[in-house]
Structure 1
Amino acid sequence: MRIPFKDLQSDIEEIEQNLLLSMRLLNDVNLDDYPFCDTVAEIEVLVCGEPAVFTIGFPTLFPHTLPLFFDKGNVFGTIPHKTSDGFLCYTRSDSVIIDSRYPGSLLLVCLKKVVQVIEAGLKKENTDEFSVEFEAYWKEKHNLAVFAYVDTTNTRARELDLWYKETQAKDPVVICAEKGDNVESAIQQLFHIDVKDAKKFRCIYLPLKERSFLSPPDPDNRWDFTVFKQNLVKNLTDTNRKAYTKLIQKPVADVKPGLEFVISGLPLENGNVALFGGTMSGNTIVTKALAQPKNQRIQVHPFVWKPKNSEFLRATIKRWHPNHLLNRTGGQMELTDKHILIAGVGSVGSEVATRLAKAGIGKLTLVDWDVMEVDNIHRHSLGADQVYTFNEKEGLLNKPKVWGLKEELNRKYPFTDIVMKGRSFLNILEEVDLMQHDIDLLIVAIGSPNTEMLINQTLHQLENPPPTLYTWVEPLGIGGHTLVTLNQDREGCYQCLFQPDDEGESIKNQSAFAEAGQEFAKSITGCGSVFTPYSFLDSERSAMLTVETAIKTLMGELSGNPILSWKGDDRLFKQGGFITRKRYSFSSKKLDETKYMYKDDRCPVCSEEGRDIHPNPEREGSL
């Protein structure tokens, strides 16, 4: 600890309190029993009105970190939030804000919290928290880890695939997954293991019924083979008990004998499911059949016939099912069955695709004809390793952007199905089923107004087109935009943005921050190196706006068809001598208030007049 123990005692003595009765430094103590601590003291505290003695450990950085408390003498017995080694968990990380100037006050604040935990446990006021913390208790002193791809929303007892990969290290790598989910490539990406090189063993998943209560393992309640089996079987529903009986008696094929794995799911009051399980020795018996020339070997589950001296080994379950991963990171599981098509995967579109895969979108179709260039790497989401591909027959080739992006996303987010189409979106418009039953959302990140106006017109002629977002960046960091169209209604579209300022003038993008008619393209070495100047920060900011809008659209949380904009710094823009439009002067509040005011009542595409020119079969015969 950073302060002398006597100074801490003196600090506490100056505080008026009646909780801590005494504190005595322990000199002859094994610090291995007190992880992360370099000083340990015995304290006498009032618990439920009576004096109780336990210990406090001070980490090296105290009072810049919180003290730790231990019931090494098992004074309080088995209570929630107390581990098998006596550690008392009294707070979540960062729930206590530390003021290191007052170490005595800090200790007393923490002591008050730990006493509240102890008293609630002794009074049995928080017994339900045994279930909430069940996984944490189960992980203590476990024998092995099982990486489990288990859909806990499926409450049916069933068999899982399980692969067992031996290593030169002490522990094997054990991976299980739902049958039929075709996760072999995901296993290769995530665990770097080819399942063809692993042994297969039988694994059964047994979800327990709602409101099951299990007392977790502790020194007074050791789970052996018999306790494990009894706790599972007695908490199955009638349907799952029948399924369990069939599963353990079912003949097995294509799996090794010797080991059997069982995983169970304990429903919690908060709607989550605690996973726990283990492995045990299996049986192989020899039978004699008159009709067979040789004796037959039959694998018998130990829940049917327990082998002599069979040992139950507790396994901690490490989840990797996307539902759990998204839930843990604040994601939305509703996105896992959504399909988004992204037209254009340049600097903005590639960032959009990456973030949508990270959000858990189930399927992405990437459309772009272009290839990566070295010039792209400081603005594109792909790096230098995705610029070229090489083979002896064709030599060095630039890699198509959709190809490189598919490789990158498959490597990082293996649960998202990536489909690539290395062609212009205009060329495949007639080939792709753009009706809502196939594609839930279309994102256009091409950055070409003329092309996007044609796409907009084509989509509005469809009977039931998907909601469509258009996204683009303005030059030199002054801003970017995302336009929502075909979201619940057809009024407001990409064409609406392009109107003349005065009669007879050429049309201009009314959402733009930059005044029309200015030339922003730059060239470093002539016409072959022309580009529009904006940084990766601008691409990422536009992508963030687009992804947030996409998710809100998919979840039905966005009304109508707004134009959404972000404003950047105009310093570089003004240094170049460029002029902004009046819209750039709008505050964020005004940009939000005017987000629906771009609509053109005379739009040739989405207005009533336009729909007469380009009839929509869905509206024929309606008022």
Structure 2
Amino acid sequence: MVVPRDLLETYFQIRTESVQYLIDTYGAIQVESENKNKFPVTLEVKTIVADLEIFLLISLPFNFPDSFPQIKLNDISYKMLYPLPHLSIFKTICLFDDVVASPNPENPFGVLDESIEKAKEILLKGILKLNIQDYIDEIETYWMEEAKGRYLSIVQPSDCPKEVYLVPFKYADWIEQGIFSDQKSEAINWIQNLGGVVKDEEITKILYIPLLELMNYPFPKKNIDIYHLLKNNKLALNSLFQYLTKNTRPSKVLFSMKSDEDYSWGIWEHLKPYKQVVSKFKGRKRIQTGLNGFRRDTKYGFLEIVKEFPRREINKYSINDVSATRLKIRGGDGKTENQGFRVAVIGCGAIGSHIAQGLFDIGIQHILLIDHDELSFENINRHLCGANAVGQKKPDAIRNLLRRQYPTSSIQVYNRNVLSLLKDSPNALNSYDLIIVAISHTPTELRLNELQLQNMINKPILNVWVEPYLAGGHGIWIEPNEKILLKMLFDNGRYKNQILMDGNQYSKKELGCSTSYVPYGALELKKFIFDLLLFIQQQFNSKERSSKTYTWLGNLTEQRKYKRLLAPKWVGATNFTFRIQELKNNQESND
């Protein structure tokens, strides 16, 4: 992409003036930049912090002052001060949180002054040990700096030590070497959803230890440090000794640490026993790789880490928590109350496919997709899946797409008619908390309602469909114990809350065949699904759920513009609003 010359000139002019400002104000000296594409210019500034002479390397990014400058220590200052909170192994001082702070581009000199003062403040607090707590708050960052590798985890934290599984895998060019999980099948499902390859022969059991106390700085580096970390937690310490006694080295240990309702994760690894021993009499050196007085390869956890090899270094590995709970907290609103629900979606066309994705967005992790149809080119304009999935069964296409996006998901498929499923397995849908019917096929909807009335289906059913041109969308939620007769909501085939006076006249027919379809656009459909999902979530979270109708009104102005007649009750209604009415004794009342 070609950047307009005037923008390049603007940055160049500001950068030139800023360099001169640093020289005049701070006595800066221009030095060689490590990365001229990202940081075209670097200057060295000498300053005094806590009576120490410190040299700061200030690098101006190409788009300064739209981005903060980077400030590092030179080699001498780094060796003198490291380690300090917010000083990385790359000698960079972490100045500002980009999420909550941004530079003022109208005051570039002020940005420079503020950045330098912030760097000096961070160094001063570190030198005077006033911000040691920051090590604990950012333990994962500092642990990662010394990490030998990276892993993923979907382990659920607990209060007691337990065995978990480490399942190594390979996926694309990822550097993560494996994933930890409580159950082996969960990890394998996660990897297969992603499209990765499981290394079955390398699957192992690993000890997980929840730290009951915060890990203080300096963090463990040797076997004996782990002993001191756990010595007040007898259960964890004994579990570690037993684990090391039972398993060969290297032996990884997964740990978690809770702080302010959030968890930090990491791995330490005990290595094969090894130390150099010098004879007291003749000064001869030898290598010891086992326990004194025991047979070769004998393992005894306590003796190894406390008595014989206390100074043996440990390895560290970083962990990325990718559990559904963590991802919902970090990348969502933090609400996890829907994770335990299971939903069956009957009909995997445009409506059903977007509902399926939306269910994961509100935290549902287990769904069943039912449809006998194949995805065609005619579907893809408004379907969740695209041209690359044409020819696949719709449930398979949706599953293949969503499980890569939501690897913690459990997606089951049935590629036949739902009535075939119920004929062979009458209770198949009763293991789900909600049954969503998105097929716009009245006979099947009535049959399912009949099975619900007969208690053959004992879970709520939500019938969903839309009208032509998305004039409106509808949902009918029926609780199994309220005995709602679905057909009572229709008058000669016409739904009582229908938006258009006669929606059928706007249906389209394929040329050369007898197949009709309902015209509507993808954008309006997504808006309807979004609002519908909020209704579903509201029903899930209701303490006393009841049967209700949900009526969504689309762009009514457009319907009037094209002279599509609205039903009398909606003539004065407003665009993109909805109505919820409670169903009792097959009658509606305003909710």
Q: TM-score range by the shorter chain?
A: 0.7 to 0.9
Deviation at 1:421, TM superposition (A): 3.0
Q: Which runs of 5+ in 2 are unaligned?
A: 1-10, 274-288
Is the Cα–Cα contact under 8 Å of residues 254 and 267 in structure 2 kept in the other structure? yes
Is the Cα–Cα contact under 8 Å of residues 282 and 299 in structure 1 kept in the other structure? no
1:545 and 2:528 are equivalent in the alignment: no
Match of 1:265 among 231, 239, 256: 256
Which position in structure 1 is the counterpart of 2:137?
132
Match of 1:323 among 316, 325, 349: 325
Question: Structure 1 residues 170, 349: CA separation in 2 closer, same or farther (over 3 Å shift)?
Answer: closer
Q: Which runs of 5+ in 1 are unaligned?
A: 14-20, 218-222, 290-294, 389-398, 500-505, 608-623
Which position in structure 2 is the counterpart of 1:178?
182
1:363 and 2:363 are equivalent in the alignment: no
Q: Deviations over 1:446-498 (max 9, x none)?
A: 223554355345435549943443322221233423344439x9498865754
Q: Residue 41 of structure 2: SS of its match in structure 1?
A: strand
The CA distance in 1 between the partners of 2:419 and 2:350, in whole Å, is: 20
- Counterparts of 1:72-471 in structure 2, within 5 Å, are 72=74, 73=77, 78-111=83-116, 114=119, 117=122, 126-151=131-156, 153-163=157-167, 173-190=177-194, 192-196=196-200, 198-200=201-203, 203-209=206-212, 211-216=213-218, 223-226=220-223, 228-234=225-231, 237-250=233-246, 252=247, 257-268=248-259, 270-282=260-272, 303=305, 311-330=313-332, 332-357=335-360, 359-388=362-391, 399-426=392-419, 428=421, 431-433=425-427, 438-449=431-442, 451-456=444-449, 458-460=451-453, 462=455, 465-471=458-464
- Counterparts of 1:538-577 in structure 2, within 5 Å, are 538-556=524-542, 563-569=549-555, 573=559, 577=563
Q: Deviations over 1:371-417 (max 9, x none)?
A: 333432333223344443xxxxxxxxxx4333443444444434322
- Counterparts of 1:465-614 in structure 2, within 5 Å, are 465-486=458-479, 490=482, 497-498=489-490, 506=492, 508-516=494-502, 518-556=504-542, 563-569=549-555, 573=559, 577-581=563-567, 582-583=569-570, 585-587=572-574, 591=577, 594-596=579-581, 599=582, 603=586
Is the Cα–Cα contact under 8 Å of residues 467 and 503 in structure 2 kept in the other structure? no
Is the Cα–Cα contact under 8 Å of residues 370 and 417 in structure 2 kept in the other structure? yes
TM-score normalised over the length of structure 1: 0.74
The CA distance in 1 between the partners of 2:412 and 2:170, in whole Å, is: 35
Question: Structure 1 residues 48, 131: CA separation in 2 closer, same or farther (over 3 Å shift)?
Answer: same
Which position in structure 2 is the counterpart of 1:38?
40
Given residue 425 of structure 1, which amino acid in structure 2 is its aligned partner?
Answer: V
Question: Structure 1 residues 381, 231: CA separation in 2 closer, same or farther (over 3 Å shift)?
Answer: farther
The CA distance in 2 between the partners of 1:588 and 1:166, in whole Å, is: 50
Same amino acid, percent of matched pairs:
19
Counting matched residue pairs gives 556
The CA distance in 2 between the partners of 1:553 and 1:107, in whole Å, is: 53
Q: Deviations over 1:56-113 (max 9, x none)?
A: 3211210121122334425876543332344222322242344423212333454565
Which position in structure 2 is the counterpart of 1:57?
59
TM-score normalised over the length of structure 2: 0.78
Q: Residue 64 of structure 2: SS of its match in structure 1?
A: coil
Q: Deviations over 1:505-531 (max 9, x none)?
A: x46424332113641221231343321
Question: Structure 1 residues 465, 300: CA separation in 2 closer, same or farther (over 3 Å shift)?
Answer: same
Given residue 552 of structure 1, which amino acid in structure 2 is its aligned partner?
Answer: Q
The CA distance in 2 between the partners of 1:358 and 1:127, in whole Å, is: 38
Is the Cα–Cα contact under 8 Å of residues 466 and 486 in structure 1 kept in the other structure? yes
Cα RMSD (Å): 4.5
The CA distance in 2 between the partners of 1:171 and 1:477, in whole Å, is: 46
